[in-house]
Structure 1
Amino acid sequence: MKEKLQNAMQTFARSIIQPVMFMAVTGIIIALAAIFKLEAMPKFVQDVGNLFFTVLSSGIIGQLSVIFCVGISAAIAKKHKTDAAILGISVYLIFLYTNNFWLNFTHRLAKAGSQGLFGTGQSMVLGIQVTDMGVFLGIILGCLVGYFINRWGGVKFHKYFASYEGTKFVFLLLIFTTIILAILVTYIWPPINALVSSTVKLMGTSGAVGLFAYGFLNRMLLPIGMHHLLWMPLYYSPLGGTAMIAGKSYSGALNIFLAEVGNISKVHSMDWSIGFLVNFGYIFLPIGIALAFIKTAKPENKAKVKGLVIPAVMTAMLAGITEPIEFMFLFISPILWLAHGIIYGLGLVIPHIFGLKIMVGNVIETIMYCIAIPMRLGHQWLIIPIGILMVVIEYFAFKFLILKFNIPTVGREEELVGDEALKTTGSEVISTNDTNAQMSDLIKGLGGASNIQNLENCYSRLRIDVRDISKIDLNLIKQFPSSGVINKKNNIQIVIGPGVESTRDELDSYIAGLGTKDY
Structure 2
Amino acid sequence: MKDTLMNGMQRFAKAMFIPVLILPIAGILIAFGNLFTNPQLIETFPIMDNPVTTGFGSILSGSLVSILTNLGLIFCVGIAVGLADKKKAEAGFTSLLGFLVFIHAMNNYLSFNDLLVDSSSLQGTGQTMVLGVQVLDMGVFLGIILGVITALVHNKYADIEFDNAFQIYGGSRFVFIVLIPIVVLSAILMSFIWPVIQSAIDSTGVFINQAGNFGLFLYGTLERLLIPTGLHHLVYTPFLYTSLGGVAEIGGEVFEGARNIYFAEMADPTVRVLSESVIWDARGISKMFGLIGACLAMYHTAKPEHKAKAKAILIPAVFTSFIAGVTEPIEFSFMFIAPVLFVIHSVLSGLSMVTLNLLNVRAIGPNGFIDFLLYNIPLGVERTRWPLYILVGLLYFGLYYTLFRFLITRFNLKTIGREDKAEDTRLYSKKDYKERQSSTAPGSEQVHPQDGIAHTIVSALGGDENIKTITNCYTRLRLTLDDPGRVDESVLKDQTGASGVIVKDRNVQVVYGLQVNKVRRSVEAYLGRPSED
Task: Tell me if both proteins adopt one fold, taking TM over 0.5 as the criterion.
Answer: yes
Partner of 1:55 in structure 2? 63
Map 1:426-441 → 2, pairs under 5 A: 430=433, 431-432=435-436, 433=438, 434-441=449-456
Partner of 1:466 in structure 2? 481
Instruction: Tell me the amino acid that sits aligned with residue 500 of structure 1.
Output: V
Q: Does 1:368 align with 2:365?
A: no
How far has the Cα of 1:324 moved from its partner? 0.9
Q: Distance in 1 between matches of 2:22 and 2:512?
A: 18
How far has the Cα of 1:499 moved from its partner? 2.8
Match of 2:509, SS state, is strand
Partner of 1:300 in structure 2? 305
TM-score with structure 2 setting the length: 0.91
How far has the Cα of 1:159 moved from its partner? 4.7
Match of 1:328, SS state, is helix
Q: Distance in 1 between matches of 2:506 and 2:177?
A: 33
Identity within the alignment, %:
38
Match of 1:493, SS state, is strand
Q: Does 251-260 or 465-474 show the bigger shift?
A: 465-474
Instruction: Tell me the amino acid that sits aligned with residue 34 of structure 1.
Output: N
Q: 1:271 aligns with which of 275, 281, 299?
A: 275
How far has the Cα of 1:497 moved from its partner? 1.2
Q: Distance in 2 between matches of 1:2 and 1:313?
A: 37
Instruction: Tell me the amino acid that sits aligned with residue 425 of structure 2.
Output: L
Match of 2:417, SS state, is coil
How far has the Cα of 1:160 moved from its partner? 4.7
Q: Does 1:498 align with 2:514?
A: yes
Q: Distance in 2 between matches of 1:485 and 1:178?
A: 39
Map 1:153-164 → 2, pairs under 5 A: 153-164=158-169
Map 1:23-422 → 2, pairs under 5 A: 23-39=23-39, 40=42, 41-43=48-50, 44-58=52-66, 60-113=67-120, 116-263=121-268, 265-277=269-281, 278-361=283-366, 362-414=368-420, 416-417=421-422, 420-422=423-425
Q: Which runs of 5+ in 2 are unaligned?
A: 43-47, 439-448
Partner of 1:484 in structure 2? 500
CA contact (8 A) 2:216 2:350 kept: yes
Match of 1:180, SS state, is helix
1:51-70: CA deviation from partner (whole Å, max 9, x where unpaired): 00111001x11111111111
CA RMSD of aligned residues (A): 1.8
Q: Distance in 2 between matches of 1:195 and 1:427?
A: 49
CA contact (8 A) 1:134 1:237 kept: yes
Number of equivalent positions? 506
1:376-402: CA deviation from partner (whole Å, max 9, x where unpaired): 221111022111100011111111111
Q: Distance in 1 between matches of 2:485 and 2:303?
A: 39
1:432-483: CA deviation from partner (whole Å, max 9, x where unpaired): 3233011112112222223222211111111111122244333333322222
CA contact (8 A) 2:72 2:141 kept: yes
CA contact (8 A) 1:328 1:427 kept: no
Q: Distance in 1 between matches of 2:451 and 2:471?
A: 20
156 and 322 in structure 1: CA distance in 2 versus 1, 3 angstrom threshold: same
Partner of 1:20 in structure 2? 20
Q: Does 444-453 or 42-51 show the bigger shift?
A: 444-453
Instruction: Tell me the amino acid that sits aligned with residue 131 of structure 1.
Output: L
Match of 2:288, SS state, is coil
Q: Distance in 2 between matches of 1:502 and 1:353?
A: 42
Q: Distance in 2 between matches of 1:55 and 1:509?
A: 38
Match of 2:145, SS state, is helix
513 and 67 in structure 1: CA distance in 2 versus 1, 3 angstrom threshold: closer
Q: Distance in 2 between matches of 1:246 and 1:156?
A: 50
Q: Which runs of 5+ in 1 are unaligned?
A: 515-519
TM-score with structure 1 setting the length: 0.94
Q: Distance in 2 between matches of 1:173 and 1:259?
A: 38
427 and 135 in structure 1: CA distance in 2 versus 1, 3 angstrom threshold: farther
